[in-house]
C-alpha cells in the first residue's frame, strides 16, 4: 500500500489540517515510512481473536440520567477566542 500525493491531500482534508500543495510529496513519503512499519502487523495470525475494547476486564459504569452540573456559562465561554452575548462566535457556516 503506497500513499500518493492525492491520498495525502485527502487525509489532510479529512483531518481538517491545511497542508500547502508543495508540502504534500514529503508528507506522503512520511506516511509511507510509517505505514511500511505498520505493515508488519499482517504477519500476525489474528484469526478468531476479538479486537480489544477494554484493557481491564470492566464494564463501563452506568449512572442515573440526571443533570449533575450546569449554570456555568461564563466559565464555559471564558477561554473562547471569540464569545459574544453568551455564545461561541464563528465565521458564517451557511451561505
Partner 1 sequence: MTDLNKLTLADARDKLRAKEITSVELTESCLAAVEKSGELNAFVHNTPEIALTQAKAADARLAEGDAPAMCGLPIGVKDLFCTKGVPSQAASRILEGFLPEYESTVTQNLFDAGSVMLGKLNMDEFAMGSSNETSVYGNAVNPWRRGNDDAKLTPGGSSGGSAAAVAADICLAATGTDTGGSIRQPAAFTGIVGIKPTYGRCSRWGVVAFASSLDQAGPMTKSVRDAAIMLEAMAGHDAKDSTSAELAVPNFEAMLTGDIKGKKIGIPKEYRMDGMPAEIVKLWEDGTAMLKAAGAEIVDISLPHTKYALPAYYVIAPAEASSNLARYDGVRYGHRATLAQGDGITEMYEKTRAEGFGHEVKNRVMIGTYVLSAGFYDAYYNRARRVRALIKKDFDDVFAAGVDAILTPATPSAAFGLGEMNDADPVKMYLNDVFTVTVNLAGLPGISVPTGMDSQGLPLGLQLIGRPWEEGDLLNTAYALENAAGFVAKPSQWW
Cα–Cα distance, 33 to 19 (Å, whole number): 19
Q: Write out the residues near partner 1 by the rule CB under 8 A.
A: 3, 8, 11-12, 14-19, 27, 30-31, 33-35, 37-44, 46, 49-56, 58, 60-61, 63, 72, 75-76, 78-82, 88, 90-93
User: Least CB distance from residue 24 to partner 1, whole Å?
Assistant: 11
Residue 83 DSSP class: E
- Report the DSSP beta bridge partners of residue 88: 83
Closer to partner 1 by CB, 43 or 71: give it.
43
Cβ atoms < 10 Å from Cβ of 8? 21
Amino acid at each position: 500500500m503506497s500513499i500518493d500525493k492525492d491520498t495525502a491531500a485527502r487525509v489532510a482534508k479529512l483531518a481538517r489540517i491545511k497542508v500547502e500543495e508543495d508540502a504534500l510529496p514529503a508528507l506522503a513519503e512520511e506516511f509511507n515510512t510509517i505505514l511500511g512499519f505498520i505493515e508488519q502487523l499482517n504477519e500476525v495470525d489474528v484469526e478468531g481473536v476479538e479486537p480489544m475494547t477494554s484493557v481491564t476486564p470492566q464494564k463501563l459504569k452506568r449512572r442515573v440520567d440526571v443533570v449533575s452540573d450546569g449554570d456555568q456559562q461564563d466559565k464555559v465561554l471564558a477561554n473562547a477566542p471569540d464569545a459574544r452575548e453568551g455564545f461561541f462566535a464563528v465565521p458564517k457556516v451557511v451561505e
